[in-house]
Structure 1
Amino acid sequence: MSLKFSVITPSFRQGRFIERTIQSVLSQGIEDIDYIVCDGGSDDETVEILKKYHPRIRWVSEADKGQSDAVNKGISMTTGDIIAWINSDDIYYPGTFNAVRKIFESQAEIEVIYGDADWINELDEIIYPYPTENWNYKRLIETCYICQPAVFFRRSLIEKFGSLDSSLDYCMDYELWLRYGKYVDFYHLPQKFAGSRMYKTNKTMGKKLQAHYEVVQMLKQKFGKVPDNWMMSYAFVKAEDMTKLNKFDDKEVKKLIWISFMEIVKLKKVISPKIIIKVLFWYFFPDLSWFRRLRLLEGQQ
């Protein structure tokens, strides 16, 4: 018996993107997709676009408590064996669902599949490949190397370990991967599944400090401490927010790195050699470090 997909799209005022998202789902060539869009009561062109695709998709447009609440609502309204959610500004690549279903149907022990992905701009052009890595739970605690729209999981995990934490506004997906990954190994298929859109006003780029703070607090609550990588990233974003220094200017970025190191000193009682080495690497070789990726992503704005 063929496994059925349930796909949920949370949406709010994404009329300029959502049709591309819908088409990327419906063009997968699979007839039995249970696709629902949970819109938060948008007052742009979203509802008119949703009406165009009835009855191929189901949708609701009503006030909700945010993205996590919308996804959880959508999950509760569906019955498919395999669950995925894709935000209303992201897209799936052709052939993704067939590749995923083939693995799930042939290997019953696999409960989560994730693929590779790209960061894309507003025109669907690739900015940079998402830094996906092979499955390693300890490494996942240090950095979120899994791109949210490139993940598919069995409904049984919802029943065993719960759905999204609705108290989270930014890192609800990361928290879910950490929760599930504690109990099951994820299967990485090195095939590009999705494009995750990056632009100035989306949550990831537009509210970097709030997003990093939420990650730090979530990790602290879950594990009792915050990994160095996340603490360093948070300190850098905080320093950037405080100083308004330009990371694209080679002189100013060195000041920014130094100030972020001072923030780490304030936040941590003991500074590990790993942090010192990485900060020195940032300082002397910014174009070889993660700053190169940041500059590429934010340079699109």
Structure 2
Amino acid sequence: MTHRRPRVRLVVPTTGGRLTYLEQCLASIGRQDEPAEVVIVGPAAPSPALRELVRSHPCRYAAESGRGLSNAVNQGWTDADTEYLGWLGDDDLLTEGSLSAAVGELERTPSAAMVYGKVGVIDSSGNDLYTMRPGRLAPWLLPYGVNFVWQPGSLYRRAAVRQVGMLDPSLRYTMDFDLHLRLREYGRLRYLPRPLACYRSHPDTLTATNPEPYGERRRVMRRHLGPVAGALQACWWPAAKGAGRALGALQVRTGRT
């Protein structure tokens, strides 16, 4: 039996403190029909339980050489020679067949820098809450701070990431938003209208612990806005922020299972 060389590398950063979630995350990757190289980036001195979990799955463990999520993902991506790159939080999941669907879309669309899809939101116990459906207009809303391109449901073309640069280590909360804006300037952001991942909503997520949800996002926006939109940001930003909240609330209401 011949084994196909993986075309995808997935990085899973972890602090080693959520082993039950991490086990479920790795199991969801293992069930994919598209093989993936998996690199877990975690503490330099992993606990015995974390070591045992890594041994029980076909993945590689790398001791983190920097601090922060961006550094961990960059570290896992640096030596990749796969065609496609992605990352998952240790509390997130892939849906069945999502990697083959995402890879297939990137194969069919050479001009696409990345593919993104629907993302199911689950609670801490794994129960379905609702589904976020970004739609094809999501890339056009990105520069104005309306961010519906969810990172767990995204897969990137490695050549595009190499061209625009990897994650910005100075960003703690919006590194994916910044990357998606840079990729938008390089190529197409291709929408796949099917669930590609599940995002676990619980009190310890980066989103939940962000004390100033719009501060870092606006700093990233200023990097990518044109001179006119940038100069007038104070005028249109309140309306854009309100529209984003309204659209998000609508997605939650209509996306409930």
Q: What TM-score does the superposition give when structure 2 sets the normalisation length?
A: 0.82
Partner of 2:120: 118
Residue 180 (structure 1) aligned to one of 183, 188, 197: 183
User: Which of 3, 6, 11 is residue 9 of structure 2 equivalent to?
Assistant: 6
- Equivalent position of 1:88 in the other structure: 90
Task: Note closer, same or farther for the CA distance 1:149–1:39 as it changes in structure 2 (3 Å cut).
Answer: same
Task: State the match for 1:26 in structure 2.
Answer: 30
Structure 1 segments unaligned to the other structure (5+ residues): 232-267, 283-287, 296-301
Q: Residue 105 of structure 1: CA displacement?
A: 2.8
Which residue type is aligned with residue 59 of structure 2? I
On the 8 A contact 2:160/2:186 being kept in 1, the answer is no
Confirm or deny: 8 A CA contact 1:14 1:46 kept in the other structure.
no
Aligned to 1:162: 165
Displacement of 1:49 after TM fit? Answer: 1.6
Comparing 171-180 and 104-113, the one that deviates more? 104-113
Larger relative strand fraction? 2
178-187 vs 212-221, greater mean Cα deviation: 212-221
Match of 2:73? 71
Q: Percent identity?
A: 19
2:38 corresponding residue in structure 1 = 35
Which residue among 149, 163, 174 is the counterpart of 1:146?
Answer: 149
Change (3 A) 1:37 1:46: same
Q: 1:237 — aligned with what? A: none
Cross-structure match for 1:47: 51
Structure-2 separation of matches of 1:76 and 1:271: 38
| RMSD of aligned residue pairs (Cα, Å) | 3.1
1:88 Cα deviation (Å)? Answer: 0.6
> 1:139-191 deviations in whole A, cap 9, x for unaligned?
12231111101111111012211110111010000110011102211110101
Give the distance between the partners of 1:30 and 1:215, measured in 2 at CA.
34
The equivalent of 1:258 in structure 2 is none
Match of 1:101 in 2: 103
Within 1, Cα distance between the matches of 2:247 and 2:104?
A: 37
TM-score (norm 1): 0.71
Amino acid at match of 2:62: V
Mapped to 2, the partners of 1:109 and 1:291 lie a distance apart of 32
Query: CA 1:124/1:163 → structure 2, altered by over 3 Å: closer, same or farther?
Result: same
Contact 2:28 2:93 in 1 (8 A): yes
Deviation at 1:44, TM superposition (A): 8.3
Residues 38 and 61, structure 1, Cα contact 8 Å, conserved in 2: yes
Tell me: CA distance 1:159–1:47, structure 2 relative to 1, closer, same or farther (3 Å).
same
User: SS state of the match for residue 17, structure 1?
Assistant: helix
Question: Greater RCO between the two (CA within 8 Å, min separation 6)?
Answer: 2
**Residue matched to 1:215:** 217
Larger Rg: 1
Larger fraction in helix:
1
* Number of equivalences: 244
Unaligned runs of 5+ in 2: none
CA positional deviation for 1:290:
5.1
